[in-house]
């Protein structure tokens, strides 16, 4: 901005403002003030322009601790992701990250579009070379891969994050973790908030109930395997208002004989179906085995089947399983 000072007939003209030459000191003070004001106005204009300009700086680094206690740093959100577990694949799709998925396992079948993604092999036996060829900047693994697969991938220079949720709360935490790493925090927040709301909708109805029917989840029939404590199915039974007859056993146990099942006499039996090539064999076994004909679940026609992909995966659909368990165990409450 130019400051013009011109003398004409004993009068100084400063940007259209008349200023008498006398007293001289006053004129000089006014002139300096005008120059200072002009400078400040210029600075203010520049500052406002800068604050409104688009953000051009790179995203800040993100350092997280995965569910096995490993510390991982990401300089930018990953653009190519390989999933080593069906549950991880479901999380990625639920957060809208399908375009970032560079590879999945042969067992990643939900949503159906996941089956069109390039395969990197089985769940327990992923092909290391296939994973490397996909050039991922993030590999989402599960606890099953921690001992052997993860070290091999990291030795190839790949970044691996392990999700190891053991209950519904930790599934929600795993989703939040993936959202943080991939820049999908808002989507993760919306998804997990909805899951928490649905869980509360079930437990708010089941917690006041005085009756907790004896319930059993059948994982497999030959040999007989039931869900014990520390499993997703144990938690689903308890939150749905039942009492798991296998909770004295840890994990998925083969130590619960058919005779013990008869003695326990559950009023509700839920069998997993669709596991591998097993189809609905566990369900049909419980419904037709002659030695079980006198247990209450058989007599009252309360033997149910549920897809293991829903009830056994540590992903967003675990809440679907909870709602289904609640209908099986307390149909009088959950119509």
In a domain, 244, yes or no: yes
Confidence at residue 60, expressed as pLDDT on a 0 to 100 scale: 67
pLDDT digits (tens, 9 = 90+) for 270-308: 999 987 767 899 999 999 999 999 999 999 999 999 999
Tell which of 15, 31, 52 closes a domain. 52
Shared domain for 81 and 190, answered yes or no, is: yes
Confidence at residue 36, expressed as pLDDT on a 0 to 100 scale: 43
What backbone phi and psi angles, to 5 degrees, belong to 228?
-105, -160
Number of domains in the chain: 3
Shared domain for 70 and 144, answered yes or no, is: yes
Confidence at residue 35, expressed as pLDDT on a 0 to 100 scale: 44
Which residues of the chain fall below pLDDT 50? 1-58
Shared domain for 142 and 239, answered yes or no, is: no
pLDDT digits (tens, 9 = 90+) for 197-226: 999 999 999 999 999 999 999 999 999 999
Shared domain for 28 and 130, answered yes or no, is: no
Confidence at residue 3, expressed as pLDDT on a 0 to 100 scale: 41
Shared domain for 193 and 83, answered yes or no, is: yes
Q: Report how far residue 283's alpha carbon sits from residue 286's, in angstroms, rounded to the nearest whole number.
A: 5
CATH number where 257 lies: 3.40.50.1980
pLDDT digits (tens, 9 = 90+) for 165-182: 999 999 999 999 999 999
CB 250 within 8 A of CB 228: yes
Per DSSP bridges, beta strands 62-65 and 71-74 are antiparallel
Shared domain for 220 and 193, answered yes or no, is: no
Q: Report how far residue 200's alpha carbon sits from residue 206's, in angstroms, rounded to the nearest whole number.
A: 10
Shared domain for 24 and 69, answered yes or no, is: no
| Host domain of residue 9 | 5-52
Shared domain for 159 and 218, answered yes or no, is: no
Shared domain for 74 and 166, answered yes or no, is: yes
In a domain, 206, yes or no: no
The distance in angstroms from the start CA to the end CA of the chain is 77
Shared domain for 217 and 299, answered yes or no, is: yes
Shared domain for 71 and 170, answered yes or no, is: yes
Shared domain for 150 and 75, answered yes or no, is: yes
């Amino acid at each position: 901005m130019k400051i013009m000072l011109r003398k004409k007939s004993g009068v100084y003209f400063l940007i259209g403002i008349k200023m008498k030459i006398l007293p001289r000191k006053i004129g000089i003070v006014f002139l300096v003030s005008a120059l200072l004001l002009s400078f400040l106005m210029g600075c203010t204009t520049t500052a406002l322009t800068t604050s409104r300009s688009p953000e051009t700086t790179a995203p800040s680094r993100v350092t997280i601790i995965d569910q096995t206690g490993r510390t991982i740093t990401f300089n930018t959100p990953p653009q190519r992701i390989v999933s080593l577990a069906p549950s991880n694949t479901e999380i990625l799709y639920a957060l809208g990250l399908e375009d970032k998925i560079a590879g999945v396992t042969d067992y990643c079948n939900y949503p159906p579009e996941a089956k069109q993604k390039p395969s990197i092999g089985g769940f327990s036996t992923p092909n290391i070379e296939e994973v490397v060829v996909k050039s991922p900047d993030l590999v989402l693994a599960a606890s099953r891969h921690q001992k052997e697969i993860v070290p091999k991938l990291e030795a190839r220079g790949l970044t691996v994050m392990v999700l190891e949720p053991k209950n519904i709360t930790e599934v929600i935490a795993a989703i939040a973790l993936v959202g943080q790493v991939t820049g999908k925090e808002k989507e993760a927040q919306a998804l997990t908030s909805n899951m928490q709301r649905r869980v509360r909708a079930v437990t708010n109805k089941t917690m006041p109930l005085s009756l907790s029917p004896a319930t059993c989840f059948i994982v497999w029939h030959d040999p007989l395997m039931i869900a014990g404590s520390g499993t997703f199915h144990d938690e689903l039974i308890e939150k749905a208002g039942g009492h798991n007859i296998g909770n004295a056993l840890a994990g998925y146990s083969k130590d619960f004989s058919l005779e013990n099942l008869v003695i326990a006499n559950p009023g509700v039996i839920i069998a997993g179906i669709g596991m591998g090539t097993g189809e609905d064999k566990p369900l049909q076994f419980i419904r037709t085995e002659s030695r079980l004909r006198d247990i209450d679940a058989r007599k009252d026609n309360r033997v149910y089947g549920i897809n293991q992909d829903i009830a056994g995966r540590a992903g967003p659909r675990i809440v679907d399983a909870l709602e289904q368990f609640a209908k099986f165990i307390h149909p009088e409450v959950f119509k």
